[in-house]
Amino acid sequence: MEYEAIIGLEVHAQLLTESKIFCGCSTKYGSPPNSQTCPVCLGMPGVLPVLNKKAVEYTIKMVLAVEGRVKEKSVFARKNYFYPDLPKGYQISQYDQPLACGGFIEIDLPDGRKKKIKITRIHLEEDAGKSMHIENEDTKTLMDMNRCGIPLIEIVSQPDLSSPEEAYLYLGKLKQILMYLRICAGNMEEGNLRCDANVSVRPKGEKGFGTSTEVKNMNSFKGVEKALEYEIQKQIRILESGGKIEHETLLWDEKKEKVFSMRAKEESHDYRYFPEPDLVRLVINQGWIEKIRKTMPELPDQRENRFIKEYNLPEYDAGVLTSSKDLADWYEEGLKYYPNPKILSNWVMGEVLRELKERRVEIRDLRMKPKDLAELLKLIDDKTISGKIAKDVFKEMAETGLLMHTQKKAEEIVKKKGLVQVTDKAQIEIVVGKVLSENQGSVKEYLAGKKKLFGFFVGEVMKKAKGKANPKMVNEILKEKLKIGDA
């Protein structure tokens, strides 16, 4: 029997506000434990939470980006559970009246089709603290409450995803949108983007849903794909052997590449949700939404389409260049100085991205500015250097800019290293002459019909000229000399 998977994702994204959601404490990452806390986020008696307007604004941006509906009225609720990292004994979240519902995220499937993944709801809530288990002579657990009260948005998808790969693509798209909006750092490894999955399987073609399990603790994009793959295969094995799927919460162990049962899954009634009495209903008027709409940046899909139309780029190029806002901005800045979209695209997708990947850095870490690359490309166009030499110059520009923090300009490197292309016919003729007289055996073979030796002569000339001879002229001169055989 063939099975299909049904996957829904719950993604928690940490919002990039400067202060926490219900108090003025800083959200700065990496500060000493418990240095960013106050009576409000520590849950002392008698304190009152005050909602951070920026957090609501960021949430609305996300809702607008996925074309969801912001509700005029929503309610914060207490989600009660007991855990050491939750000093209040409850988390302020939203339950039956979330801030927004509806909308979709469109993913590009590998076969070229597009698929819309519907969004169930988007709500706002606070994060809990962090436990650190220290093992020494006596095992201890330390608590850091800096994360208590950090604003999170939870984005819940409908169970529209039918494979681990689709889940991976959805997550990537979600991250891309969050980062375009500049409302989340989008780093799963650092925990500011977290993902839980609801997974079930059913025989292909059937309509009903099977019992689902919840998989948590997936700390990377690849981890999500692997964990889902594992869980789906496990469920199929259980069903095939006549077993029953238990409704439970599972933890993914990245090292062992296995899931482990954490506990029988809580139902929402286990949390005894009730409206947060310390916060009034959240009322959002249409005027504010429209104001926020005006500040919305161009989103990834729109930008990709514009790149195709406006710059006449292939879909592939447009997709790569708009994969992050920073990269797309860098490319468009470069176009101001070098208005040949396809050539610039080739260099950004080739040399620039390769350099970033090799050095494991982001485009914003690159000191080389788009204008610097444009100047290098102009040197090729005006025949000062060849394309091949330009790649070496590029390497040095990137290196001096990344490692030594003394970004050198293309022209400076070309002059200093004497890389200016030789276009003087007499000079090239001398080199060609030398190569041919040093390789008389090959010349004879060539003249006797072994035409593929031509490439060898070109290579030798370029080697002797240290790559600086104009390749077109080298070709012409070689042809001329070999035709008349005056070597």
| Positions that interact with Zn ion (CB under 5 A) | 23, 25, 38, 40-41
Closest CA to 128 of 37, 262, 247: 37
CA 454, CA 443: separation in Å to the nearest integer?
Answer: 9
Residues forming beta bridges with residue 108, ordered by sequence position: 114
DSSP secondary structure code for residue 269 in this structure: G
CB 38 → Zn ion: shortest distance, Å? 3
Gyration radius from the chain CA atoms: 30
> Of all helices (H) and strands (E), which one includes residue 482?
helix 471-484
CB 149 → Zn ion: shortest distance, Å? 6
Which CB atom, from 30 or from 110, has the smaller least distance to Zn ion? 30
Total residue count of the chain as it appears in this document: 487
Which CB atom, from 276 or from 317, has the smaller least distance to Zn ion? 276
Which CB atom, from 149 or from 334, has the smaller least distance to Zn ion? 149
Which amino acid is it at 390?
A
Which CB atom, from 23 or from 181, has the smaller least distance to Zn ion? 23
Which CB atom, from 41 or from 318, has the smaller least distance to Zn ion? 41
How many Cβ atoms from other residues are within 10 Å of residue 235's Cβ?
22
Which CB atom, from 21 or from 462, has the smaller least distance to Zn ion? 21
Residues forming beta bridges with residue 422, ordered by sequence position: 469
Percent composition of the chain: helix, strand, coil (DSSP 3-state, to 5): 40, 20, 40
Closest CA to 373 of 412, 409, 427: 409
CB 40 → Zn ion: shortest distance, Å? 5
Residue 294 in contact with residue 288, Cβ under 8 Å? no
Which CB atom, from 38 or from 402, has the smaller least distance to Zn ion? 38
CB 93 → Zn ion: shortest distance, Å? 17
CB 20 → Zn ion: shortest distance, Å? 5
CB 174 → Zn ion: shortest distance, Å? 28
CB 26 → Zn ion: shortest distance, Å? 9
CB 265 → Zn ion: shortest distance, Å? 31
CB 31 → Zn ion: shortest distance, Å? 13
- Beta-carbon contacts of residue 43 (< 8 Å; ≥ 6 apart): 86, 87, 88, 89, 148
Closest CA to 75 of 55, 101, 95: 95
Q: Which two tokens stand for residue 373?
A: 């690359």
CB 266 → Zn ion: shortest distance, Å? 27
Q: Which two tokens stand for residue 69?
A: 């509906």
CB 37 → Zn ion: shortest distance, Å? 5
CB 25 → Zn ion: shortest distance, Å? 3
Which CB atom, from 146 or from 157, has the smaller least distance to Zn ion? 146
Which CB atom, from 22 or from 311, has the smaller least distance to Zn ion? 22
Q: Which residues of 346-381 are buried (b: 16+ CB within 10 A; e: fewer)?
A: ebbbebbbebbeeeeeebeebbbbbebbbbbbebbe
Which CB atom, from 71 or from 147, has the smaller least distance to Zn ion? 147
Residues forming beta bridges with residue 258, ordered by sequence position: 253
Name the 3-class secondary structure at 109.
coil
DSSP letter string over 312-328? Answer: ---HHHHHHHTSSHHHH
CB 59 → Zn ion: shortest distance, Å? 20
> Of all helices (H) and strands (E), which one includes residue 338?
none
Which CB atom, from 40 or from 224, has the smaller least distance to Zn ion? 40
Residue 470 in contact with residue 429, Cβ under 8 Å? no
Name the 3-class secondary structure at 224.
helix
Which CB atom, from 21 or from 398, has the smaller least distance to Zn ion? 21
Which CB atom, from 40 or from 374, has the smaller least distance to Zn ion? 40
Q: Left (φ > 0), alpha (ψ -120 to 50) or beta: where does 139 sit?
A: beta
Closest CA to 130 of 271, 278, 31, 13: 31
Which amino acid is it at 376?
L
Which amino acid is it at 298?
E
